[in-house]
Amino acid sequence: METVLYSGVSLELPSEICEDISLLFEILSPDTWNNHLTDDHREMLMGFLPEFSHNDLEEKTRTLEMFFMDENFRFGTPLRLFHEQLCKGFFNPEISKMRAIHKKIMYKEYRYRQKQYLHHTLEEVLVRRKRVLDIVSSMPPDDIPKIPRLPPLRDQELRSIKNSVDSWVGWKDHFRQICYQ
């Protein structure tokens, strides 16, 4: 038996499922759907399907047929994709935990870069605004101001930005190696 963590639910699955996909198709079959689930369970599970604007019940029934008949849903069949990820260990509790940590780190990196971008943009806007106000305040009222372009960031500022990004890249690589081994 293998412990699997999927969507926050821990399950014990036989390890033979990874070796033989037909076992997964036997467990998740129309027979199981029709004969072993109660009406309440079927309704609850159908609630996870998307709402369709026209012929909702017919479309959901068609979707279930496609699911059980192993038809392609644009980017592969859901059962085959689940089986492939199961065999690769994506649902191992330790790997799931590391992937969750990696996701948090990636989000923090994104937030950090957004803050950094907004900080530099605000700084640049304020500098340009001051420059424009200085030029305009020293001009006669009827003249149209000619405002020169602002020079690019200094090399020292670029280096500090690059160093902070490089430190994040090192952490990102570390967690990628741990999560996807």
Mean pLDDT, range 28-45, rounded to an integer = 89
**Amino acid in the structure at residue 90:** F
> Could you say which DSSP state residue 33 is in?
I
The mean of the pLDDT values for the chain is 81
Residue 96's pLDDT band (cuts 50, 70, 90): confident
Please give the pLDDT value at position 108: 94
Whole-number Cα distances in Å, 131 to 5, 56, 119, 122 = 58, 61, 18, 14
Please give the pLDDT value at position 106: 93
The pLDDT tens digits of the residues spanning 104-162 come to 999 999 999 999 999 988 888 888 788 788 888 888 888 887 777 766 656 555 555 55
At residue 181, does pLDDT exceed 60? no
Distance CA 71, CA 86 (A): 19
Please give the pLDDT value at position 154: 60
Distance CA 84, CA 90 (A): 9
At residue 18, does pLDDT exceed 60? yes
At residue 39, does pLDDT exceed 70? yes
Residue 67's pLDDT band (cuts 50, 70, 90): confident
Percent residues over pLDDT 70 in the chain: 82
Distance CA 20, CA 25 (A): 9
Please give the pLDDT value at position 174: 59
